[in-house]
Amino acid sequence: MHVAVGSTNPVKVEAVERTLSRYEPSVVAVAVDSGVPEQPWSIPETVRGAETRSHRALEATDANYGIGLEGGVADLEGVPGLSLVMWAAVTDGRRLERGSGPSIRLPDRVASRLDAGEELGPVMDDLLGTSGVAKTEGAAGVLTDGLTDRTSALSQAVACAFGPFQVPYYD
């Protein structure tokens, strides 16, 4: 199985490799534009970014599947505050499937900076005094005290989007 990931972010590539390891895939990272702002601001915008990445990754390669991963923030109905959300999209060129990872409420001081136009990765780096948190444990890891991390959270989204291609229940 040959898989193209619509990102060169090592966390996103590792999420795909880890999730699909039982299939022993050949995974290639492809730099593509998501077609959405750097900081997606809703579930539809985050999903659209993942879909675009999956299509563009597949089109740029001879892979069997294109996989797009996108993190964003959203106001979730019935849930207070602003939440971090993660979505994956998988396409084989004929079908497109989507799946989400976990969500977590962002601290108010982070949410207010995002409301002011900043992006989550740099805000988290500033809060932590680090550089490149989005390429390591991510906000998911920091805000759960390591109970999960960005790779694991994105892996769940990949599993939920890729699974329908592997079982007969979606025909």
Binding-site positions: 7-12, 33, 62-63
Return binding residues for substrate.
7-12, 62-63
List, as residue ranges, the binding site for Mg(2+). Answer: 33, 62
d(CA 135, CA 148) in angstroms, rounded, equals 14
Both tokens of 70, joined, read 């996108």
Q: What is the 3-state secondary structure (H, E, C) of 76-126?
A: CCCCCCCEEEEEEEEECCCCEEEEECCCEECCHHHHHHHHCCCCHHHHHHH
CA angle in degrees (0–180, nearest 5) for 23-26-27:
110
Q: In whole angstroms, what is the distance from residue 79 CA to residue 148 CA? A: 20
